[in-house]
């Protein structure tokens, strides 16, 4: 069943976003609007609507300077399901493409009359640089920049939590792992803060922890047994194996013993604590298989919501 795009237009009374580079300073009302839209798209899909025509004739370009099949695929599906064309512009992943060269690429792409550029780059701040240098009406969507932001991940995480626990003011959320280098953690903290969550606990090996100054709103807890205690949601971050050596932990088993989420630890959390992970998971490193596959795991819900959140963002930024 194909349905018209009309019913997916958001209510009028708001200033529409033109870019999405970070969740910083995004008001709760705006986040909720995006989540509501994602939800209505998910409902339509569940009722057999496979494709909308909201972005028919629009072109979305995936500009990935870091490889990421999952996120790229999620954006590609989101754009296609809104009727947009998608172009994958695969820049050599070896070349960092900085400065002038990056802006020349941007301007070249703009000159081809694109509607949106979904960008991933290892240098933090690249999406804002693209916004600053954009000359046309192109929208920039950050699909992850350095350790700074991954806003659609932040949105899909609060969408997943909201579905099960809409009472954010009562929730304690723990984020565990390599917080220091994690753009997911940063976007999650911003999204959760905007949603008015009661408490955010950050936990991880000391060398992988950020400064308290950067996260004044968060509680730093060294011991994961303590951090998980009474938590309503646990967001486990993926451990980049090359970071391992920075810690005092000799191997993955040692990491798992200290920071892995297993059934024993999950039992310390609040009843029904949501288990989350941005994926791909390292079983037996961040998370035990029985927890990843258990009833409390929302990991695949996150993936599903990711497509709808990205549809909502594209609709917000590009919709007529």
Phi, psi at residue 71, to the nearest 5°? -65, -40
Question: Binding to its own copies (CB under 8 A): which residues in 8-47?
Answer: 45
Q: Which residues are annotated as a binding site for L-aspartate?
A: 98, 183, 238
Give first-to-last CA distance, the chain, whole Å. Answer: 22
Choose the stretch contacting its own copies; rule: CB under 8 A; options: 4-12, 31-39, 75-83, 151-159: 75-83
Q: Does 133 bind its own copies (CB under 8 A)?
A: no
**Which one of residues 31, 175, 231, 307 is an interface residue with its own copies (CB under 8 A)?**
307
**Which one of residues 58, 162, 183, 201 is an interface residue with its own copies (CB under 8 A)?**
58
**Which one of residues 9, 29, 43, 90 is an interface residue with its own copies (CB under 8 A)?**
90
**Which one of residues 93, 253, 289, 290 is an interface residue with its own copies (CB under 8 A)?**
289
Q: What token pair was written down for 296?
A: 């409390």
Edge to edge, what strands does the sheet with 233-236 contain? 219-220, 199-203, 172-176, 233-236, 274-276
**Cβ proximity to its own copies, 181 vs 283, nearer residue:** 283
Residue 165 in contact with residue 232, Cβ under 8 Å? Answer: yes
Phi, psi at residue 230, to the nearest 5°? 70, 10
**Cβ proximity to its own copies, 90 vs 222, nearer residue:** 90
**Which one of residues 25, 47, 57, 295 is an interface residue with its own copies (CB under 8 A)?**
57
59: preceding bond cis by omega (within 30 degrees): no
The length of the chain, given as a count of residues:
320
Q: How far is the CB of 27 from its own copies (least distance, A)?
A: 29
For strands 233-236 and 219-220, give the pairing: unpaired
**Which one of residues 82, 102, 110, 186 is an interface residue with its own copies (CB under 8 A)?**
110
Question: Binding to its own copies (CB under 8 A): which residues in 206-245?
Answer: none
| Number of residues located near its own copies, criterion CB under 8 A | 44
Residue 162 in contact with residue 152, Cβ under 8 Å? Answer: no
Residue 82 in contact with residue 311, Cβ under 8 Å? Answer: yes
Q: What is the DSSP string of 218-279?
A: SEE-S-HHHHHTT-SEEEEPPPPGGGGGGSS--SHHHHHHHH-B-HHHHHHSPTTPEEE--S
Q: Does 5 bind its own copies (CB under 8 A)?
A: no
Q: Which residues are annotated as a binding site for carbamoyl phosphate?
A: 70-71, 120, 150, 153, 279-280
Q: Does 50 bind its own copies (CB under 8 A)?
A: yes
Choose the stretch contacting its own copies; rule: CB under 8 A; options: 186-194, 234-242, 243-251, 275-283: 275-283
Indicate the helix (H) or strand (E) that contains 71: helix 69-81
**Which one of residues 51, 243, 258, 268 is an interface residue with its own copies (CB under 8 A)?**
51
Given CA atoms 71, 163, 182, 237 in this order, what sign does their dihedral have? negative
Task: Please report, as ranges, the residues that interact with its own copies according to CB under 8 A.
Answer: 2, 45, 50-51, 56-59, 61, 69-70, 73-74, 76-77, 80-81, 85, 87, 89-91, 100-101, 104-105, 107-113, 279-281, 283, 289, 300-301, 303-304, 306-307
């Amino acid at each position: 069943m194909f349905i018209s795009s009309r019913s997916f237009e958001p209510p009028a009374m708001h200033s529409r976003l033109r870019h999405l580079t970070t969740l910083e300073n995004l008001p709760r009302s705006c986040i909720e609007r995006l989540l509501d839209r994602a939800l209505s798209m998910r409902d339509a899909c569940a009722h057999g609507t496979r494709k909308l025509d909201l972005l028919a004739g629009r072109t979305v370009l995936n500009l990935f300077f870091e490889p990421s099949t999952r996120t790229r695929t999620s954006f590609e599906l989101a754009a296609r399901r809104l009727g947009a064309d998608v172009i994958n512009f695969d820049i050599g992943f070896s070349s960092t493409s900085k400065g002038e060269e990056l802006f020349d690429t941007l301007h070249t792409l703009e000159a081809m009359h694109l509607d949106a550029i979904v960008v991933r780059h290892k240098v933090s701040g690249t999406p804002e640089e693209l916004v600053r240098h954009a000359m046309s009406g192109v929208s920039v969507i950050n699909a992850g920049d350095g350790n700074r932001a991954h806003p659609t991940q932040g949105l899909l995480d609060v969408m997943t939590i909201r579905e099960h626990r809409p009472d954010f003011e009562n929730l304690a959320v723990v984020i565990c792992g390599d917080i220091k280098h994690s753009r997911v953690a940063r976007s999650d903290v911003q999204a959760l803060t905007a949603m008015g969550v009661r408490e955010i606990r950050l936990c991880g090996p000391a060398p992988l922890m950020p400064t308290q100054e950067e996260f004044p709103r968060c509680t730093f807890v060294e011991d994961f047994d303590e951090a998980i205690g009474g938590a309503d949601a646990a967001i486990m971050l993926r451990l980049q194996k090359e970071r391992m050596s920075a810690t005092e932990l000799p191997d993955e088993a040692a990491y798992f013993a200290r920071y892995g989420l297993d059934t024993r630890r999950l039992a310390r959390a609040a009843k029904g604590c949501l288990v989350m992970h941005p994926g791909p998971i390292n079983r037996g490193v961040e998370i035990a298989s029985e927890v990843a596959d258990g009833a409390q795991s929302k990991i695949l819900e996150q993936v599903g919501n990711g497509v709808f959140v990205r549809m909502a963002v594209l609709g917000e930024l590009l919709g007529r």
